[in-house]
Chains A and B, each alone.
Chain A
Amino acid sequence: MDLHYIDYVSVARKSWLHNLPAGTKMLGFVGIVALLLASTSIYIEVGVAVGILGMAIFARVPMKIFLGLALYPVFFLFVLYLSIEGETLSTALFLGFRVLAVTESAILLLLSTSFPSIFKVLGRVLPDFLVAALFFSYRSIFVLSDSMSDVQTAMHLRGGFSKKRPLWTIRHFGTAIGHFLVHSIDSSQRMADGLRLRGFKNRVYY
Chain B
Amino acid sequence: MSHIHLPDGILPTWLWLSGYLITAALITGLWRFGQATAEPRKFALLGIFTAITVLVMMIEIPPLGYHFNLSIVTGIILGPRLSVLAALMANMILALIGHGGITVIGLNTLVLSVEMIFGYYVFRYLSALKVKASKSVFAATIIGLGMGTAFGFGIIVLGASGIDRLLQSASSGEDFGAGIEGPHLNLTRLAVIMFGLGGVGWVLEGLLSSAVLVYLDRVYPGLIGRD
Report A's interface with B, CB cutoff 8 A: 1, 3, 6, 33, 36-37, 40, 42, 69-70, 72-73, 75-77, 79-80, 82-88, 90-91, 94-95, 98-99, 102-103, 106-107, 109-110, 115, 118, 127, 129-130, 132-134, 136-141, 143-145, 148, 167, 170-171, 173-175, 177-182, 184-185, 187-189, 191-192, 195-196, 200, 202
Not counting A33-B8, A85-B181, A137-B51, a sample of 8 additional A-B residue pairs whose C-beta atoms are within 8 angstroms of each other reads: A79-B193, A110-B97, A127-B31, A175-B211, A177-B211, A185-B220, A192-B41, A192-B44
Contacts of A72 in B (CB 8 A): 98-99
Please determine whether B215 and A178 come into contact, CB atoms closer than 8 angstroms.
Answer: yes
State whether the Cβ of B7 lies closer than 8 Å to any Cβ in chain A. yes
Given contacts A90-B170, A91-B171, A138-B93, contact A185 B37 (CB under 8 A): no
In the complex, how many angstroms separate the beta carbon of A185 from the nearest chain B beta carbon?
Answer: 7
Within 8 A of A (CB), among B61-120: 65, 70, 73, 85, 88-90, 92-93, 95-99, 101-103
Please determine whether B52 and A83 come into contact, CB atoms closer than 8 angstroms.
Answer: no
Contacts of A94 in B (CB 8 A): 170-171
Contacts of A145 in B (CB 8 A): 55
Partner of A1, one of B5, B8, B51, B97: B97
Given contacts A91-B170, A181-B216, contact A106 B189 (CB under 8 A): no
Contacts of A76 in B (CB 8 A): 5-7, 65
In the complex, how many angstroms separate the beta carbon of B117 from the nearest chain A beta carbon?
Answer: 18
Closest 3 CB pairs of A and B: A174-B211, A178-B215, A136-B47
